[in-house]
Each structure stands twice: as C-alpha cells, then as structure tokens.
Structure 1
Amino acid sequence: MTGLVLAAGASVRLGEAKQLLPYRGRTLLDATLDLARSCAFDQVLVTLGGAADLVRERVDLTGVQVVENAEFSTGCGSSIRAATQAVDPRADGLVLLLGDQPGVRAADVRRVAAATTPLAVCRYADGLGHPFWFARDVLPELRVLHGDKAVWKLLHSGRHPVTEIPVDGPVPIDVDTRADYRRLLAGEAR
C-alpha cells in the first residue's frame, strides 16, 4: 500500500511556505510525514513543487520518496498525476493525505485503507474529508486529473462505489490561511 502526501502547493493564500510553518517543535510537513510513516505503508510518496528546495533543506524526508511536480501551480490534480507514476506496481492502492493537515489520526488512515470498495473517504461529524483511499483499479483515472478539486469530482462522479468511514469529531484543520494556522496552534485540531 502506498501513502501519498500532497505538499507541492505554493501557499498563495498564506503568503509563505506552509510546509515549513513551525508546528510542535518541527514543521507542519514533518508532522504529516511522521503520521504517514506511522501508518506502516509499504511506500510513502510526497509531492514537492513550491518551495521544494527549502523543504528539502528543512524537512526530514527519511524513508520518503520525493516526487517533483513542476506543474504544481495548476492544482493538486497535477501532483496526484505526477505521483501515480511513482506508485509501486505491487501496491493495492493508495491513501491520499494532505501535507498541511497534521490532525489526521493513524487509526482513521488504517480504517480508510481497509475499505473494500474502489474509493473510500472519511465521514467526520461536519462533513467528508481526507484521507481518501483509491484502489489500484482507480489509479488510471488519477493519472488524468486536472485542477484543485479533481479528486472530489472523481469521488462524487458515481463511476465507482464509495465507502464513507465514520470518524469522530470534525474534519481536521487544513492550513490554507493564517487564520487556519492560528486555529491549529490554538489546539482546535485533533
């Protein structure tokens, strides 16, 4: 099984590289990569684009395969496209995590990854959210994604059965703005 952490964005709304924001004595991306490492994936991929050189200097990438996304400015669909080319051919599928969402719990990642349908998503108290599960059969569709909301369009397309995994609590904070970061630091994340 492959874990994919999306961390290629340019952090336009925040105004600085959110991957490198201080969080629990390290960086925001370090926290998410630690989560991915704790999930016992056979392969962990991380996409880099905006601030890639700084991320390589300051983030612990041990045990992680970096996928460079030169087209990062076109949305996360381009990162997913780039990363699917690096997925181990033996993988049953991949779990998609956001590099700026450190509040996801490893137990919930494992529950999503255990889904028997081609797609799975977490159903939090206040809506759907990451992580997502994509079975191997769906990977060809991930290779043609475009834009920022492409995985959501695939999820809601009706082309594949989807399992919604119930998860306690709200959707973990996804840091896109300074206000999101303040809420995360204030302890509103799980």
Structure 2
Amino acid sequence: MTASFVTGLVLAAGGSARLGRPKQLLPYRSVTVLGHVLDTARACNFDQLVCVLGGGADSVRAGVDLSGVTVVENRGFGEGCSSSIAAALSAIDPHCEALVLMLGDQPGVQASTVRALLAGRGDAALAACAYADGRGHPLAFARSTFAVLGELHGDKGVWKLLDRAGEEVVDVPVPGPIPPDVDTWEDYQAVLAEAGPPSVHSDVDHLDAEDGVDGRGATIEG
C-alpha cells in the first residue's frame, strides 16, 4: 500500500558559512542550486511542497522561483537540520501520510530517484535510498514518525533515528553513487562537473576571484 498524500520537504536553511555566500543561489544549469532542486521536487508531483529557508532567506526569496511552494523560515537554523524539520512540521498538510525529505544543496538527485523511493518503501515507516556507495537522501517518513522527527536535534538527528530503527528502515536500491551536496567550493566544483560541461551553467562566469573560483567553477590559486 502506498501513501495517497505525499509532502515533499526541501531543507534549504543552511547559512553557507564555509562558502561566504548563499549556496542556494549558486548557478546550476540554467537556474540556481536550490532552484534546480525545487524544479526536481515539482516534477515529483507531490501533493504538497514545503521548503525551509534560514540563512540569507531574503536573498533566496528574491533569487529563487518559489511558486507553488509553502515557505517556512527557520530563524534557529544554526541549530542544525533537525531544527528545520521541526519548523516545517507545523506547515505540513493534515492529510499528509508520507513525507519525502530532500536537501536543497543536492541538485544531482533526480525525480526518478524519488519515485523509486516511494514505490519501494511500501508502507514502511522509514525508508532511505540505497546508492552504490551507501545510504543517502532523499528519505521517506510515514506520519507515524512525525512526533519523533519533531524531537530530533542537530545535523545528524535524522541519521541517528535511522540507526536506532535498524531493520525497520527499508533501504530502496537506486542507481549510481550518492549525489554530492554543496558545503565547500570543492563540493560545488564536484557538483558542476557531475552535471555537465561549463556551458550548461549559464551564470557561473559571474563568480569572481573573491569567491575563490573562476567561471568554470575551478579553484583560483593564490
């Protein structure tokens, strides 16, 4: 049995301290990192799409298409991803039977991966993507877990929950390695390289030496 009402939750509240600018707004393909993740989420045809903002929220609102998205602002984003999940729970539709958790800085995730996760979880309370190199996002949670989700702490709270659940977690096989997320300029370069040639990232040449990368996303020495 599969859930009839599914909410997609995109976490995009990170402060981007190691990058020095909002990673949500870094160019990716023809949009931005977060813009691409939201486009992927829209392609999943969720019954509801929620996105949590935090660091640089005003800039993100101005620079990303948030149409059709319920936006939640987490002012306590410095407390980790768990605080963003807790902030989002109050905005989730009461009809929601399953929640799919996606990362706003992981643009390599495809809609087909989300569909495989939902098809493979059955009626399990907890499900994760089983990539070739390990367990990763997106993750799926049944409504029965929401109270526990709201009590998690820190950046690793979700992973600790999955570890505690042990064999109760359904690991759904999906192709390829875990898509990289963006925390550093090196991560961003890896994401760009995975996505395709520099020409597909229309605004990358706007990044300058102060950002530590050149127009191809390559590190500038010095």
Q: Where on the TM-score scale, by shorter chain, does this alignment land: which range? A: over 0.9
Aligned residue number for residue 30 of structure 1? 35
Q: Distance in 2 between matches of 1:30 and 1:188?
A: 15
Runs of 4 or more, structure 1, over 3 Å off, are: none
Q: Distance in 1 between matches of 2:41 and 2:57?
A: 19
Secondary structure of residue in 1 paired with 2:99: strand
RMSD: 1.3
Identity of aligned residues (%): 57
Matching of residue 15 in structure 1 with residue 20 in structure 2? yes
Aligned residue number for residue 194 of structure 2? 187
Structure 2 residue corresponding to 1:127, chosen from 134, 143, 149: 134
> Quick one: which amino acid aligns to residue 42 of structure 1?
D
Aligned residue number for residue 66 of structure 1? 71
> Quick one: which amino acid aligns to residue 57 of structure 2?
A
Shift, 1:167, TM fit: 1.1
Aligned residue number for residue 151 of structure 1? 158
Q: Give TM-score scaled by structure 1 length.
A: 0.96
Q: Distance in 1 between matches of 2:166 and 2:147?
A: 13
Secondary structure of residue in 1 paired with 2:78: helix
Structure 2: tracts of 5 or more residues without a match:
1-5, 197-222
Shift, 1:159, TM fit: 7.0
Structure 1: tracts of 5 or more residues without a match:
none
Aligned residue number for residue 49 of structure 1? 54
Q: Distance in 2 between matches of 1:3 and 1:28?
A: 17
> Quick one: which amino acid aligns to residue 29 of structure 1?
L
> Quick one: which amino acid aligns to residue 152 of structure 2?
L
Secondary structure of residue in 1 paired with 2:165: coil
Matching of residue 137 in structure 1 with residue 167 in structure 2? no
Secondary structure of residue in 1 paired with 2:71: strand
Structure 1 residue corresponding to 2:124, chosen from 117, 122, 135: 117
Structure 2 residue corresponding to 1:84, chosen from 86, 89, 92: 89
Q: Distance in 2 between matches of 1:45 and 1:58?
A: 17
Query: How many residues were matched structurally?
Result: 189
Q: Distance in 1 between matches of 2:28 and 2:158?
A: 27
Shift, 1:26, TM fit: 1.2
Q: Give TM-score scaled by structure 2 length.
A: 0.82
Shift, 1:113, TM fit: 2.1
User: 1:40-71, CA deviations, whole angstroms, 9 ceiling, x for partnerless residues?
Assistant: 10000000010000000010000000001010
User: 1:80-127, CA deviations, whole angstroms, 9 ceiling, x for partnerless residues?
Assistant: 000011110101110000000011111110121231210000010111
Shift, 1:188, TM fit: 6.0
CA contact (8 A) 2:108 2:195 kept: no
Secondary structure of residue in 2 paired with 1:50: coil
CA contact (8 A) 1:7 1:47 kept: yes
Q: Distance in 1 between matches of 2:136 and 2:182?
A: 14
> Quick one: which amino acid aligns to residue 169 of structure 1?
G
Q: Which has the higher helix share?
A: 2
Instruction: Check 1:144–1:160 CA distance in 2 against 1; reply closer, same or farther (3 A cut).
Output: farther
Secondary structure of residue in 2 paired with 1:157: helix
Structure 1 residue corresponding to 2:177, chosen from 170, 174, 179: 170
